[in-house]
Amino acid sequence: MAISTILFLIISFAALIGSFILDGGHLMALVAVAPAIIVFGGTIGAVGVSFPGNEIKNFGKVLKVAFTNKKVDTIELIRYFKNIAFKTRKEGLLSIEEMISADENMDPFMKKGLQMVVDGIEPQTVKSTLELSADLIEERHRVGIAMFESAGGFAPTMGITGTVTGLVHVLNNLSDPSKLGGLIAGAFIATLYGIGSANFLWLPIGTKLKELNFQEVAEKNLIIEAIICIQEGINPNTLEEKLKGFLDKKQLEEYNRGESGEEK
């Protein structure tokens, strides 16, 4: 699990609840079943109407991705491909077939590309096939991101809807002033739920998924570039320099420190 995601989510809600209590509020005053049903039920319903059923059924899987700590180690990936490049230069492309079959944990995308190389498929075909696979992966991610961004857009509106329905109850009970305070508070709780869930939950998760998608697309592009270079027999050091272009400044410094340590 991505502990940092859960931690910051807790911090967000703790800041809201804590400030409310510090101002003299009571925790149970923030708990209201009817507004929660309107906001969360209405948001989920609106998202369900907006997307086809085959995409909605993946909602849980997409949510799990946001709370799963999948780290892309670009530095190790470059070193891995550099070693493969040295191996194929010495022993030929067929030498990596045993490596592919033996590594059960190899990324399926990488395995697919290397297997195509071993099978002798033309470099342009390998590249176009892998690029298509990467595009399809990105498209699936786009749909998942869109669902959470839509939820972030619907939730505040559902909150206002809940407030309006709550105010209807207020108007129906004007003859009993003793009930007005609680009814008005309950009405505005719906707005709080709508705005709070949008800005603390739906939209942040959508943003997190965007960043994860960006990282995975970069990883896939690195893999494609590396596989094509290996297939074309490019010098391992040249391959290394090309792949280092995928590193940011901090990663590049770490990579160079590691290479210097290995040389010693």
Determine contact, residues 197/43, Cβ cutoff 8 Å. yes
Q: Are residues 129 and 12 in the same domain?
A: no
Q: Are residues 223 and 199 in the same domain?
A: yes
When mean pLDDT is compared over 51-65, 67-81, 247-261, the highest value belongs to 51-65
Q: Are residues 58 and 97 in the same domain?
A: yes
Instruction: Dump pLDDT digits (tens) for 40-61.
Output: 999 999 999 999 999 999 999 9
Q: Are residues 18 and 104 in the same domain?
A: no
Instruction: Dump pLDDT digits (tens) for 171-214.
Output: 888 877 777 777 888 889 999 999 999 999 999 999 999 999 99
- Whole-structure pTM value: 0.84
The percent of residues above 70 in pLDDT, for the chain, comes to: 97
Q: Is the pLDDT of residue 8 over 60?
A: yes
Q: Are residues 75 and 19 in the same domain?
A: no
Q: Are residues 41 and 23 in the same domain?
A: no
Residue reference for tokens 């969360």: 40
CA dist list (Å): 215 to 141, 211, 222: 12, 6, 11
Separation between Cα atoms, residue 160 and residue 189, nearest integer Å = 10
Q: Is the pLDDT of residue 231 over 60?
A: yes
**Residue 264, pLDDT score:** 43
CB burial string 70-94: b at 16+ within 10 A, e below: eeeebbebbbebbebbebbeeeebe
Separation between Cα atoms, residue 217 and residue 211, nearest integer Å = 10
Q: What does the CA dihedral 84, 85, 86, 89 come to, rounded to 10 degrees?
A: 120
Q: How many domains does the chain have?
A: 2
Which tokens sit at 4? 């940092």
Q: Are residues 63 and 106 in the same domain?
A: yes
Q: Are residues 210 and 118 in the same domain?
A: yes
Which tokens sit at 7? 């931690």
Separation between Cα atoms, residue 96 and residue 184, nearest integer Å = 70
SS3 at position 111: helix
Q: Are residues 113 and 69 in the same domain?
A: yes
Q: Are residues 159 and 61 in the same domain?
A: yes
Residue ranges making up the domain that contains 13: 1-31
Residues found in the chain? 264
